[in-house]
């Protein structure tokens, strides 16, 4: 049986927390909050509704790119598989919902992002389905390659015209 998939717009409640497994694989924990907000027709004021807090996990290149790109407070579009994490603490079994992140990106609803290829893509490495170009949002500008790769068809021609 497949796990349910979730796609939503949420906000990071903390900076991504990167770490590496004993075998050297990158993994990042991302704390997310999803909430409903609606305008009250009587008062014409915005009201916050229920909030879902969930911890997401991303692996390998997606983890590295998310760590470099995302920061606390950013609004993101995220897709992943819902699952249950279980552990034991002080003899009591604990569990919580978790999200295995398959895709995450800054939301462009109220911000601007600059997308560049990551170092693996620039060097011609195969992405294996995990590679996504890094993005920058708001004031969290980070160092990026200034020149696009020579084999990038979108990097040629008039800036506002596609290369076909």
Asked whether 81 and 4 are in contact (CB, 8 A), the reply is: yes
| Residue (of 13, 24, 28) closest to 65 by Cα position | 28
94 located within any domain: yes
Tell whether the model's pLDDT for residue 128 goes beyond 70: no
84 located within any domain: yes
Question: Residue 153, SS3?
Answer: helix
112 located within any domain: yes
Q: Is the pTM of this model over 0.75?
A: no
161 located within any domain: no
CATH number at residue 133: 2.40.50.140
| Residue (of 128, 11, 19) closest to 70 by Cα position | 11
At residue 138, the pLDDT reads 44
162 located within any domain: no
149 located within any domain: yes
- For range 56-83, the mean pLDDT: 94
Question: What is the DSSP track for 39-74?
Answer: E-TTT--EEEEEEEEEEEEEEHHHHHHHHHH--TT-
Render pLDDT for 113-123 as a digit per residue (tens, 0 to 9): 888 877 776 66
13 located within any domain: yes
- For range 23-34, the mean pLDDT: 94
Q: Higher-confidence residue: 140 or 96?
A: 96
| Alpha carbon distance 132, 164 (integer Å) | 23
At residue 124, the pLDDT reads 57
Q: Which domain holds residue 10?
A: 5-155
Provide the H-helix boundaries in the chain. Answer: 60-69, 119-122
At residue 123, the pLDDT reads 63
The residue behind tokens 């569990």 is 95
Tell whether the model's pLDDT for residue 162 goes beyond 80: no
Q: Which residues pair with 65 in a beta bridge?
A: none
| Residue (of 66, 76, 77, 78) closest to 134 by Cα position | 66
At residue 91, the pLDDT reads 92
Tell whether the model's pLDDT for residue 82 goes beyond 60: yes
160 located within any domain: no
Number of domains the chain is built from: 1
């Amino acid at each position: 049986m497949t796990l349910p998939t979730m796609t939503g717009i949420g906000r990071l409640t903390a900076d991504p927390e990167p770490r590496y497994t004993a075998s050297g694989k990158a993994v990042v924990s991302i704390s997310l909050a999803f909430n409903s907000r609606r305008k009250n027709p009587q008062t014409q004021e915005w009201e916050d509704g229920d909030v879902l807090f969930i911890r997401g996990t991303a692996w390998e290149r997606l983890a590295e790119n998310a760590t470099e790109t995302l920061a606390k407070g950013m609004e993101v579009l995220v897709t992943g598989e819902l699952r249950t994490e279980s552990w034991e603490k002080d003899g009591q079994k604990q569990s919580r919902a978790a999200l295995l992140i398959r895709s995450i990106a800054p939301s462009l609803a109220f911000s601007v992002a600059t997308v560049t290829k990551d170092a693996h893509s620039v060097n011609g490495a195969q992405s294996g389905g995990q590679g996504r170009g890094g993005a920058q949002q708001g004031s969290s500008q980070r160092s990026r390659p200034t020149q696009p790769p020579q084999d990038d068809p979108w990097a040629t021609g008039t800036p506002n015209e596609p290369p076909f």
